[in-house]
């Protein structure tokens, strides 16, 4: 049917040491986690597998979930379904909501944490939420037989346009770490279809800690798949320390400052995406105000 197309070689390392050997011999190989994003592309097969495919599904050490008194560690090959089944005592509510928003139950059974975070050219829900939770990722870099390990904040894994940057040509995200201290106000909204209509989609997430009559530790991220991954330190700073309720005029000013930032830094975002993101951001702050008056 496809003349001249041959099946790629598939490598199945069972440990990180075996992976290091395989990636050293086949540096151009494609890394395969759950495959949900790759298989959603119109041209996923036949494809040019330049140096074969490395299937990560046999690496049991990437499928572990562990908890200490200070944080939860989640292996890169843990699926969305497995993580959701871990229970409310393990995950912050915003992360549960994010995982539940990913496709159908069948898709969540295949989507892996590492695969979702390491799509090369587009950011989606999990990256957005983990960024505001100040999660960090363990990244192993492979260079001429040498392996180095780095812990990198999720927020710094991506360029401003959302493209992945692991800091090396050959790298593997092995696990993520999420602290158990997080804000008591958390909001997450996805508008549009991230896969089928990514040009109209946006993802907005915010968390904050309420202390007496004010805010602290505000973290905010807005993502437009394939276009932008935006964390506004200026808006976070202006909200942190604000008294509650936030004056409506300040809410209006901050929402338009957000649009101005996005327009200046990401010219490809449409007017519709900008307006919807602005209104969602405003709704978060109005919801915060209404709760402060209870």
Per residue in 98-118, pLDDT (tens digit) is 999 988 888 888 899 999 999
Q: Are 182 and 207 in contact (CB under 8 A)?
A: yes
Using H for helix, E for strand and C for coil, what is the string for 23-44?
HHHCCCCEEECCCCCHHHCCCC
Top mean-pLDDT range of 1-10, 19-28, 189-198: 19-28
pLDDT at 293 over 80: no
Q: How far apart are CA 54 and CA 207, in angstroms?
A: 37
Residue 190 CA to chain centroid, in angstroms? 13
pLDDT at 4 over 60: no
| Residues 115 and 202 occupy one common structural domain | no
Does 124 map to a domain? yes
Does 92 map to a domain? yes
| Residues 44 and 138 occupy one common structural domain | no
Residue 219: is it exposed, middle or buried by C-beta count within 10 angstroms (0-12/13-18/19+)? Answer: buried
Q: CA of 189: how far to CAs of 102, 129, 242, in Å? A: 12, 10, 23
pLDDT at 53 over 90: no
| Residues 109 and 71 occupy one common structural domain | yes
| Residues 51 and 65 occupy one common structural domain | no
| Residues 76 and 156 occupy one common structural domain | yes
| Residues 52 and 70 occupy one common structural domain | no
pTM of the predicted protein model: 0.90
Residue range 158-193, pLDDT digits in tens: 999 889 999 888 999 999 999 988 889 999 999 998
CATH code of the domain covering residue 126:
3.30.465.10
Q: Which residues have a Cβ under 8 Å from the Cβ of 168 and sit 6 or more positions away?
A: 141, 142, 143
SS3 113: helix
Given this model, what pLDDT does residue 22 score? 94
Residue range 242-283, pLDDT digits in tens: 999 999 999 999 999 999 999 998 889 999 999 999 999 999
Query: Which of residues 179, 207, 230 is at a domain's end?
Result: 179
Q: Are 175 and 60 in contact (CB under 8 A)?
A: no
Which residue reads 């936030």 in tokens?
Answer: 246
Does 5 map to a domain? no
Range of the domain at 114: 60-179
Q: Domain total for the chain? A: 3
Residues in the chain: 294
| Residues 152 and 89 occupy one common structural domain | yes
SS3 228: strand
Q: CA of 113: how far to CAs of 84, 119, 148, in Å? A: 12, 11, 21
Q: What is the mean pLDDT of the chain?
A: 89
237: part of which helix (H) or strand (E)?
Answer: helix 233-239
Does 221 map to a domain? yes
| Residues 69 and 148 occupy one common structural domain | yes
| Residues 191 and 268 occupy one common structural domain | yes
Cα–Cα nearest to 114, from 54, 187, 199: 54
Residue range 210-233, pLDDT digits in tens: 988 889 999 999 999 989 999 999
Q: How far apart are CA 18 and CA 60, in angstroms?
A: 12
């Amino acid at each position: 049917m496809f003349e001249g197309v041959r099946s790629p070689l598939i490598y199945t390392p069972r440990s990180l040491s075996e992976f290091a050997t395989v990636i050293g011999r086949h540096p151009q190989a494609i890394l395969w986690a759950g495959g949900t994003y790759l298989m959603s592309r119109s041209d996923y097969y036949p494809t040019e597998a330049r140096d074969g495919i490395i299937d990560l599904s046999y690496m049991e050490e990437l499928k572990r979930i562990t908890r200490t008194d200070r944080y939860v560690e989640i292996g890169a090959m843990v699926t969305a379904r497995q993580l959701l089944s871990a229970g409310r005592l393990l995950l912050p509510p915003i992360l549960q909501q994010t995982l539940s928003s990913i496709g159908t139950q069948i898709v969540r059974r295949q989507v892996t944490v590492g695969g979702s975070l390491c799509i090369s050219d587009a950011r989606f829900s999990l990256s957005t939420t983990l960024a505001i939770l100040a999660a960090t990722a363990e990244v192993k870099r492979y260079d001429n037989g040498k392996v180095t390990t780095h812990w990198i904040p999720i927020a710094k894994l991506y360029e401003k346009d959302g493209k992945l940057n692991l800091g090396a040509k050959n790298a593997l995200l092995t696990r993520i770490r999420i602290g158990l201290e997080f804000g008591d106000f958390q909001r997450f909204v996805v508008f549009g279809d991230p896969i089928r209509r990514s040009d109209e989609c946006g993802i907005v997430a915010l968390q904050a800690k309420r202390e007496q009559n004010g805010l602290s530790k505000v973290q905010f991220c807005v993502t437009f798949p394939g276009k932008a991954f935006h964390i506004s330190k200026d808006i976070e700073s202006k909200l942190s320390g604000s008294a509650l309720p936030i004056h409506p005029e300040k809410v209006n000013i901050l929402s338009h400052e957000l649009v101005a930032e996005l327009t200046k830094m990401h010219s490809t975002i449409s007017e519709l995406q900008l307006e919807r993101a602005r209104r969602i951001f405003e709704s978060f702050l109005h919801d915060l105000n209404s709760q402060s008056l209870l």
